[in-house]
Structure 1
Amino acid sequence: MAALLAGAATTIPTPSSAAPAGTGTSSSVTLITGDRVMVAGNGFRVVPGPGRRVDFTSQMRQGHLYVIPSDARPLVVEGALDRRLFDVTQLLAWRYDDARRSDIPLIAQSGQIPAAARQARRLAGAGMTTLRVPKESAGQTWKDLTSGARALGTRNTKLWLDGRRSFDLDQSVKQIGATTAWELGLTGKGVTVAVLDSGYDPDHPDLKGTVAYERNFSEDPDIRDTLGHGTHVASTVAGAGEKYRGVAPDAKLAIGKVGGVDGIADSAVLAGMEWAALEVKAKIVNMSLGGPDTLELDPLEEAVNSLSERTGTLFVISAGNSDRPGTISSPGNADAALTVGAVDRSDRIADFSSRGPRQGDHAIKPDITAPGVDIVAAAPGGGYQTLSGTSMAAPHVTGSAAILAQKHPEWTGRQLKAALIGSAAPSAGATPYQQGTGRVDVARAVDQQIVALPGDLWATFPWNGPDERLATRTLTYANTAETPATIDLAAEGETLKLSTQRLEVPAKGEASLTLTVDARQKAPGDYPGIITARSGQSVIRTPAGAYVEPESYNLTVSVIGRDGNPAHPYVELYDPKTGVIHELAVQDGIGKARLPVGEWDVYTDFSERAYGKTVAHTAVRIADRDQQVVVDARKGNPVRVTLDDPSAAPGRGHWLSLAHGAWGIASSSSEDPNTRLFIVPSRQEGLRYLLRTIWFSKDAVPSPYLYDLADHRAGGLPEDPTYAARRKDLATVSATFRASAMAATGLPLSGPRFRDDWPASLASPPQDLDLPGTLTYNRTPGLIWESMLELGTYTLADDGQAMKPGQHTRQTWNAAVTGPATAGIRGSRTGNTLTFSTVGLFTDPAPGRVGADSAATGTATLSRNGHVLTETPLAGCALDQWESCRLQAALPAESSLYTLRASMRSQAPYSALSTAVESVWTFRSARTEAERPLPLMAVRYAPGGLDDFNRARPGSLTELPIKVEGAPSTLKLELSSDDGTSWRTIPAQRTATGWTATIPNPRTPGFVSLRATAHGTSGTTLAQTIIRAYAIGPG
């Protein structure tokens, strides 16, 4: 039988006509297009929305899986559609999956609201609207968004995901000179400061009488702070306690609660910003929050800039806690933001504080630093707490700005920002990218009479030849005193030259000079610097400098469709050495990009309704001049796959993956077996190619076998993309899928792992499999094949299997006993913090597997010396979603005896086994200097002689091999035949690989429960109980 992917093929039912019912714990994410991505273990699969005939591009970027439908790709490239809408990894992390959220939260700029969308909030100040799209209406909403004159991409319409931010949490008032300002009567009196955070404790004595306005924008029911973050921040700004006072204790606070236990929604922050700037008319807004930065301007960054310009409000924003260069968080990266890093009590840069430069133009951020290490401030409940982070640093600057605004009530936010930056005290040995101009010094800020405007000066130079890397900027100094001032100037920086070294500034007046930024003799790179102005005792520091881009040239890509006309394909430019990806916007068949010198891959994906799909790859070297590449889809050759089994036919579309160097380029798929596919040949060392098709029986339903054929080659795209598969060369797996003491249906899934850093693209038979049942896999050898079983809400996944030509293996899935496995639990202690997480306690005994049941519920409890410290629910646990079921606790430093208990119950309608599972670990623990794993063990059972329903014959003897994962020294085994009401000890003998026991089964149908107590070599213990481990069936 042959499959001509360039033409029509004999087909069997596809998901649109026979959709599989299995859901498992594969986390389902509905995209804005109405398509769904199912993620579980190390794999994923795409389920197109009803009636949608599109293909999909998947990418791995910085550890995140993106899946983008072909009709969304142009809008993403053009910037009309937020790429995060297709970031499956991030959507799962933000709990936007289908199990935990029924709608898709959006932020729209301009445009017409689709009929199926609900308008949540109108943000008139920012020109935006927040929307909620029910997931069942996503497909129709997508049609509304992409049709007509008001579609996305027209009339400046843009659609963002309503994403999530986090609070930047990881002797201070006197350290920044606030007490000196108080002695001058400057306490922030008459100044309104907004704090957009997690709310506050209205009953805390330090905040009594300080809050003039409050509003809740979060998903929590009220303003009360359940996290402690907002109360701490608010009291740092304006706390009026006897023992601990804020920086500006007489300022009035406007508390906007924008986040709580479920995180921080962008839309809540936007609403809070508008309320603070437009309604409350706050002079300063503190935002101790942030999220990952991207090169694109996000809605919060736009709002910071527009509201600052419109209202004169100063937004003070934490820099983030990512402790690496180039990690300034958003919206602290906005031009108008006063971005704050953190220092310790000795003015040393905090280890966690995010560093510059800013992404894109490499401008200097943060602007300033402030104390952010071990800051004591108010806590909910009337007490105090010690916290660290740039979240703690920002309110020190906010309070300082309030003091300065009291002295200069006529100043705008821009002037306040410039004065604070100019008067900061530099930290010894720190660069501008680490500290801006230094640690805030409010005493100096209120004393100085000279302010530099603007507060920063920066030039970004493209590579246009050395002679063109020259720019000038105007730097103005304003004198607020009644007498003229003379200032002496000096520039610290390789590219900075001043038009004068001395400037006379009239009383109540201004004087300007010209700054020349000269990078004509400089190599590509960053050149941050500082301009220092001195007048008497006053010192004003202004950041300035330049960035010279790497040697770069223009690349023009001309694309021609199969009809000979200019086309509009998806074009990706890829650096195989670094993994950097640029997506090319194509208009009228032409796309242009500016690229640094080096080797680049041009990946082109044509999806033409009349002609099918064409994939091309071209290597181009950018060396010393502009380059042009022509990509002609007409050169593509048809893909042809044949199989010497006349009973089989292709039952899915295709999956095509390319990889080059240490990074992957892209993976493209189509679920439609009738999609015609063409490959434009190219030769390139190191380029790997994989084309996968799946075949089933043409006649038998369900198909008893599956052919998973993968044409994988190296050295480029093949001249002849024909793959002739022969049965004798394939590897075979005979898989048995057991039932859990009752009949059920399940969905087997499998896929090849093209690269270790890419999830496998999983596919399934067209129909569910009756359990117990069997399925024979026939696979192309030379790849690692991952497999999975979805059984209702239960998912069981393996870690992959490499196979050789002609190899035959057997597998059994869902065998008893399903229970805890160390692959499904994680525990560690770092310093004084203990963390435990699990994806579930339901793994079958086969090596290399892990299982999870999202419908199972339970609790995890940590006790110390017999007293419960914390308890957390275990519900919705899913494979690879370790944050879903997680316990964390702060512990005392000294060595103590701890008990960690994890228990879960399952009432699944597809299983009568492992209905209750519990593990209780006891161990000693003390403070650690680095992360150290907890000594957690797990007992695994593999009873022999069970039937395909996991039943033993009544009155029989069952041989029970036992393996204890961890470091066991002794084991005690107990048996119950009444669901744990009574227990009796069963002898267990030590073997070379663990233990073994002989179980005398009850003489009547029922169940056997197992309880084991293991003692570890380090003095740890485990007590593990599994109720209904296996069944006793009819004789």
Structure 2
Amino acid sequence: QPVRPAAAGPVASALPGKAVHQLTLITGDRVSVDAKGRVVGFEPAQGRAGIPVRKQIRDGRTLVIPADAQRLIASGKLDRRLFDITELNRPENRRAQKKDLRLIVSYRGTQSARAKAEVRDAGATRVGRSLPSLNAQSVATPKEDAPSLWEALTSEQTGSPQRTTAAGVDRVWLDGRRKVALDRSVAQIGTPAAWQAGYTGKGVKIAVLDTGVDGTHADLKGKIAAAKNFSSSRDLKDRVGHGTHVASIAAGSGARSGGKFKGVAPDAKLLAGKVLGDDGFGDDSGILAGMEWAVAQGADIVNLSLGGMDTPEVDALEAAVNRLSAKSGVLFAIAAGNEGDGAGTVGSPGSADAALTVGAVDVKDKLADFSSRGPRVGDGAVKPDVTAPGVDITAASAPGSEIALEVGEKPAGYTTISGTSMATPHVAGAAALLKQQHPGWKNTQLKSVLAASAKAGAYTPFQQGVGRIAVDRALAQTIVSDQVSVSFGVQQWPHTDDVPVTRNITYRNLGTADVTLDLKVTGTGPKGKPAPAGFFTLGAQQVTVPAGGTAQVALTADTRLGGAETGAYSAYVVGTGGGQSVRTAAAVDRERESYDVTLKAIGRTGKAPAAADFSLGDLGGTADGASFTAPFKNGVAKVRVPKGTYVLDSDIVTDRKKPNHIDWLAQPKLAVTKNTTITLDARKAKPINITLPVKGAKVRSLQSEFSISTKHAEATYSWMVGAGDSLRTAHLGPKITDGSLSQRWAGSWNTGAAGDYNTVSGGRVQQLGTGYSRTYKAGQFATVKLTMGVGAVKKKTGMVYPMAELPGGYGLFGSPATQSLPGVRTIRLSTTDKARWSLDFSQLGGKDADGFPVYDAGYLAGDSVAYQGGKTYSRAVNTGVFGPRLTRDDGIYRDGNEIAAMLPVLADGKGNEGGMQLASVTTVLHRNGKKFAQNKDPLQGWEPFEVPAGDASYKLTSSVTHSTKIGRLSTRVDVSFSFRSKKSSTKLPASTARFTPAIGSDGYAKAGRTISVPVTVQGSAAGKNLKSLTAYVSYNGGKTWKKVTVKKGKISVKNPAKGKAISFAADITDKKGNKSSVKIYNAYLGK
């Protein structure tokens, strides 16, 4: 994987410019997320309104988990990423999951055929790729059918309110996205010696699963034996340039450079699987299908210069690497990742046991700063396995590709980039040379020889594995160890009574003569200093390995040694003899001071409850920010954690027939200094009682949330329940007096004609509420009269989400209120506790088959406001004229060699940020007067343009349209911006004009009447920076335009005839000569 700048701009949204968007969970429930990634709303699927929902925020990641999914996640049957809002909100996942929920489902047992049929028949679910290596299928279901799919995948669990996987279903994963990440090598690894010996990879197939391979490049002509597209892009062409570069390193002929940039195995054949699309990302299912295809095509080595975040669980790609390796004997060379020098940063699928995982070094064998390090997440095993050159690697370029544009071609036809992506094909090519030398060898022999012969570096196994590969040594290597690395696992604290642990290293002689090895072990402690003498010991100092046979040597780790220094210890065992050396890595986790925490759950009846869950989240930094949990059995659970301070979050359901009655017990700070037993007694919890100054109010939702912070961590936990549910709360443990604890309570009610009431309260506390009671007075509410417009269409509904913010930036949300458009909604908002409120509006066009609203448009009705109690405010949203806006952070930005526009093209008449569902988008960038590139980004920064570094003139144009079923106003908007730019990080000049006539909330104005229309210039030409402004109107849908005079910031126009529309346009020039224009078709109608 290489390193490159992040794409500029915000993430993609279903509604361009909309401040709040929705993400769909596998349960069918929908989570509303604002532009900052905060959860600001939750909408249960039909039939799920009574299921409580919990929210957790830890280490910058937000999870939203319905109560009936908790145990499936904890058991590993359900991918946690399916509820990880931070993960689902990543731009690549939002694009991939825009319309459908995409999963990988694996099956098992005699019921698998039936389970597959039930999944296939769940709504409009489509079964995609068959993935036999996991007995799995990729599945895509329309978001509105997610509840049906949830029912097909899961079933009720006898005696418990929790669900289990349905008969025949094994595991369910998110079909996530993997990426390439851009950040004198052949001779460095000893390849010339291999070539001189006649080994060039002839007869060997290397599969490059990447962004595609440009087979027209002179270095790659005639080398591709087979190619197939598994990506979401339209064809095999490599528009990123990554796959071409990788393939060239592994097997390029060097023809264009006269052999200067020849690949490691220049006579090997290539299998080009395009598993990553033109944006550099690929679906897990596509990558997995590519792996299976490569094996079926007879690949000997598979190169995967890609990856994603690793988790302690075995994900779908890791499982496939392990199974395909074992079944086919194919070697998978996989990039370690480019996440830098932090511990535990090796990515997936490079974390798979069977993978030959590759880190990166520079030309002097110095470990690259970006190269990911071990130990492996979850079990502390050694990863990466080896390193190879990955810094400033020159290889073939795909002409016109993203990389070619970004870094330039020097010399022509070649680019120079860095990353573990570049290191990995060095290893794949080296393996091909060995495979030619030994055609009968499988992955285990290739992996063992490359590792055993690696050149030592001044680094630990967690940084470099066994070292940098050396092909010249590998070709002569006949002595290997079957294990690239040996893991002793975790040895529990305290260590004074530890029993030394022994593992055997098996040496294998692939040659025809006995070899005697002199053995030596050197150990390293967690801080990089030598391990104590005797910590790692060998059972023999010398061993003779018979020709064609094996010999074992015991390696012992004595964790009684080491004193107070705990953590990951590593070692190298080096055997030398017969002119060879063989290196094997080893590791053991000498557990830091840790204790058992036992939890005993008691229901409201005094007996073991129907269900209980808990987590212990690290607050003190002694557990590396981890969170711990374990299943309850007969009301008892046990977990082992390092000594330290934790937040205990637990919930209890007493009666399986009342799964929505939750008792929430939490201890904000739990000091674990010894083996500890905690009783979670639901009888201690008390209910929530909030009283309003009006009778007959019907509760929509109640929410309770608390946050705890230390210098090491910050965490937030919450529960939300709906009408008819029961949430009771209790504080456990002593008071918190250092000001680090805060708690918040929110509620939402409807009173019919009197409107809606929304409350929020809270702040710093010394202990959590054991229950909560609050009585509000009428003077503690502000009344907001919200005018909700519509674009001259009927049968539309408006929905408003109140969103609250208390000091400290904590966001809570009420339940949505709906009514017909146009209309005025009365919303009452509590004003105590320094609350600030904002209102998120959505226009709905009916409901889908599962009862979910269909979203037409969405706007944020103004900024967050601290209202005053007893006062009435007027606000308006979704009113015309809709058009582009350039205020605050709106604009066009240059970030290095990327140009991206980020501005709402359909802000409403009040300038509220938002947008509509678009029917078409055409965005074009011209460079020096010629069309340079085109995409479908509605100026939201979704698809930045990659441009050359040099200075040039640019013109950016965009045209967007929406259906008249959504609204008859501003049905088309055209904008253009002209400017000069070169490589930099800056905001570029751009301007627009806002037309703000006084029209009705229904989108009409009195036909034939002459009115004055304010025209306001925004952007680089605003105020004193304006050089010229020319305005136009049209009464025939923009077929012809008439110039109108702008006088004192206004134009005089005649309203259109009944049922007809007027259009506006403007040309703007700022004082530096930058030109912009805007055209708004059908701005409003006459009546």
Pick the TM interval, shorter chain: 0.7 to 0.9
Distance apart, 1:635 and its partner CA: 1.7
Q: Structure 1: how far apart are the matches of 2:541 and 2:650? A: 55
The percent identity for this pair of structures is 32
Contact between 2:17 and 2:913, CA under 8 Å: does it hold in 1?
no
What secondary structure, in the 3-state scheme, does the structure 2 residue paired with 1:117 have?
A: helix
SS at match of 1:358: coil
Match of 1:861 in 2: 924
What TM-score does the superposition give when structure 2 sets the normalisation length?
Answer: 0.83
Deviation at 1:293, TM superposition (A): 0.7
How far, CA to CA, are the matches of 1:237 and 1:369 in structure 2? 15
Structural mapping, 1:447-462, within 5 Å: 447-462=476-491
Which residue pairs with 1:51 in the alignment?
47
Q: After TM superposition, list the pairs within 5 Å mapping 1:335-354 onto structure 2.
A: 335-354=353-372
Please point out which of 1038, 1048, 1068 is paired with 1:1013.
1068
Give the structure 2 partner of residue 923 of structure 1.
979
Shift of 1:38: 4.0
Partner of 2:848: none
CA distance in 1, matches of 2:86, 2:836: 23
Task: Quote the residue 2:838 is aligned against.
Answer: 786
By how many angstroms is 1:887 displaced?
Answer: 2.4
- Bigger drift between 146-155 and 977-986 goes to 146-155
Name 2:680's counterpart in structure 1: 631
Native 8 Å contact 1:188 1:399 kept in 2: yes
Residues in 2 aligned to 1:812 and 1:131: alpha-carbon distance in whole angstroms: 42
Structure 1 match to 2:463? 434
Where does residue 933 of structure 2 map in the other structure?
Answer: 870
Match of 2:562 among 521, 530, 534: 521
Aligned with 2:1012: secondary structure? strand
Confirm whether residue 982 of structure 1 aligns to residue 1022 of structure 2: no
The residue aligned with 1:181 is 194
- Whole-angstrom distance in 2 between the partners of 1:759 and 1:97: 26
Q: 1:836 to 1:431 in 2, by over 3 A?
A: farther
Q: 2:702 aligns with which of 643, 654, 674?
A: 654
Kindly state the Cα deviation for residue 290 of structure 1 after the two structures are TM-superposed.
1.2
Q: 2:442 aligns with which of 408, 412, 429?
A: 412
Q: Tell me the equivalent position of 1:549.
A: 591
Pairing 1:328–2:346 present: yes
The runs of 5 or more residues in structure 1 that have no matched partner are 1-20, 990-996
Tell me the equivalent position of 1:603.
649
Q: Can you list the C-alpha shifts for 1:235-274, whole angstroms capped at 9, x where unaligned?
A: 3322335244331123333444434347422223333333
Partner of 1:253: 270
> Structure 1 residue 772: deviation in Å?
4.2
3-state SS in 2 of match to 1:232: helix
Does 2:1014 correspond to 1:960? yes
Distance 1:22 1:862 in 2: 19
Query: How far is 1:724 from its partner?
Result: 0.9
| Structure 1 residues 489-888: aligned runs within 5 Å | 489-493=520-524, 494-495=530-531, 497-499=536-538, 500-519=540-559, 520-522=561-563, 523-535=565-577, 538-567=580-609, 568-577=611-620, 580-607=626-653, 608=655, 609-610=657-658, 612-619=661-668, 621-646=670-695, 648-661=696-709, 663-671=714-722, 673-682=723-732, 684-685=735-736, 686-698=740-752, 700=753, 705-713=755-763, 714-740=765-791, 744-753=796-805, 760-761=812-813, 763-765=815-817, 767-781=818-832, 782-792=834-844, 793-797=856-860, 798-806=862-870, 808-818=872-882, 819-822=884-887, 825=890, 827-831=892-896, 833-838=897-902, 840-844=904-908, 849-855=912-918, 857-874=920-937, 885-888=942-945
1:1023 aligns with 2:1070: no
1:34 paired residue number: 28
1:933 aligns with 2:971: no
SS at match of 1:625: coil
Match of 2:406 in 1: none
Cα deviation, 1:871-904, whole Å, max 9, x if unaligned, reads 21135x8xxxx56x32221313x33333333332
The Cα of 1:28 is off from its aligned counterpart by 4.0
Aligned to 2:408: none
- CA change 1:497–1:90 in 2 (3 A) is closer
**Partner residue, 1:117:** 119
Cα distance, 1:746 vs structure 2:
2.0
Match of 2:180 among 156, 167, 173: 167
Distance in 2, Cα, partners of 1:910 & 1:30: 23
- Deviation per CA, 1:639-667: give whole Å up to 9, x if none: 21211212x41241322222222633322
**CA distance 1:70–1:1004, change in 2 (3 Å):** closer
Distance 1:381 1:869 in 2: 11
Give the superposition deviation at 1:397. 0.4
1:771, distance to aligned residue in structure 2 (A): 1.3
Q: Residue 11 of structure 2 corresponds to which residue in structure 1?
A: none
Shift of 1:340: 1.1
What's the CA shift for 1:219?
A: 4.7
* Residue number in structure 1 paired with 2:84: 87
Check whether the contact 2:302–2:331 (CA below 8 A) recurs between aligned residues: yes
Partner of 1:12: none
**1:895 lines up with 2:951 in the alignment:** yes
| Residue 1011 to residue 122, structure 1, CA distance change in 2 (3 Å) | closer
Residues 249 and 757 (structure 1), Cα distance of their counterparts in 2 relative to 1, 3 Å cut: farther
Q: Would you say the 8 A contact 1:75–1:153 is kept in 2?
A: no
Residues 1:1020 and 1:536: Cα distance change in structure 2 (over 3 Å): farther
Greater shift after overlay, 955-964 or 162-171?
955-964
1:687-708 Cα deviation digits (max 9, x unpaired) = 332232212224x3xxx52210
Aligned pairs, how many?
984
Counterpart check, 1:69 vs 2:87:
no
CA contact (8 A) 1:165 1:264 kept: yes
Alpha-carbon distance between aligned partners in 2 of 1:998 and 1:836, rounded to the nearest angstrom = 32
Corresponding residue number in structure 1 for 2:853: none
TM-score normalised to the size of structure 1? 0.87
Task: Tell me, yes or no, if the aligned pair for 1:844 and 1:851 is still in contact at 8 Å.
Answer: yes
Post-superposition shift, 1:805?
4.2
1:586 and 1:342 map into 2 onto residues whose CA distance is 44
Corresponding position: 1:377 with 2:429: no
Distance 1:840 1:43, change over 3 A: farther
Superposition pairs of residues 235-246 of structure 1, within 5 angstroms: 235-243=248-256, 244-246=261-263
Which segments of 5 or more consecutive residues in structure 2 lack a partner in the other structure? 1-14, 121-126, 158-162, 402-411, 525-529, 845-855
CA RMSD in angstroms comes to: 3.5
Equivalent-residue separation in structure 1 for 2:975 and 2:144 (angstroms):
39
**Are the structure 2 counterparts of residues 60 and 850 from structure 1 closer, same or farther at C-alpha, using a change threshold of 3 Å?**
farther
Q: Tell me how far apart the structure 2 counterparts of residues 769 and 688 of structure 1 sit (CA, whole Å).
A: 39
Tell me the CA shift for residue 398 of structure 1.
0.5
Contact 1:191 1:252 in 2 (8 A): yes
CA contact (8 A) 1:27 1:99 kept: no
Q: 2:322 aligns with which of 305, 328, 331?
A: 305
Supply the distance in 1 between the matched residues of 2:992 and 2:637 (Cα, whole angstroms).
59
For 1:835 and 1:58, locate their aligned partners in 2 and report how far apart those are by CA, in whole Å.
Answer: 37
Change (3 A) 1:657 1:154: farther
Q: Which amino acid aligns with 1:179?
A: P
Structure 1 match to 2:452: 422
Match of 1:984, SS state, is strand
8 Å Cα contact 2:133-2:324 kept in structure 1: yes
* Greater Cα offset, 179-188 or 378-387: 378-387
Secondary structure of 2:207 counterpart: strand
* Contact persistence 2:746–2:812 (CA under 8 A): no
Cα deviation for residue 565 of structure 1 reads: 2.2
Contact 1:921 1:1020 in 2 (8 A): no
Change (3 A) 1:955 1:214: closer
SS at match of 1:391: helix
Q: How far off its partner does 1:816 sit?
A: 4.3
Deviation at 1:99, TM superposition (A): 7.7
Give the counterpart letter for 1:657 in structure 2: E
Counterparts in 2 of 1:147 and 1:506: CA distance versus 1, 3 Å:
closer
Which of 980, 984, 1001 is residue 1053 of structure 2 equivalent to?
A: 1001
Q: Secondary structure at the match of 1:653?
A: strand
Alpha-carbon separation, structure 2, partners of 1:161 and 1:186: 42
For 2:140 and 2:504, locate their aligned partners in 1 and report how far apart those are by CA, in whole Å: 46
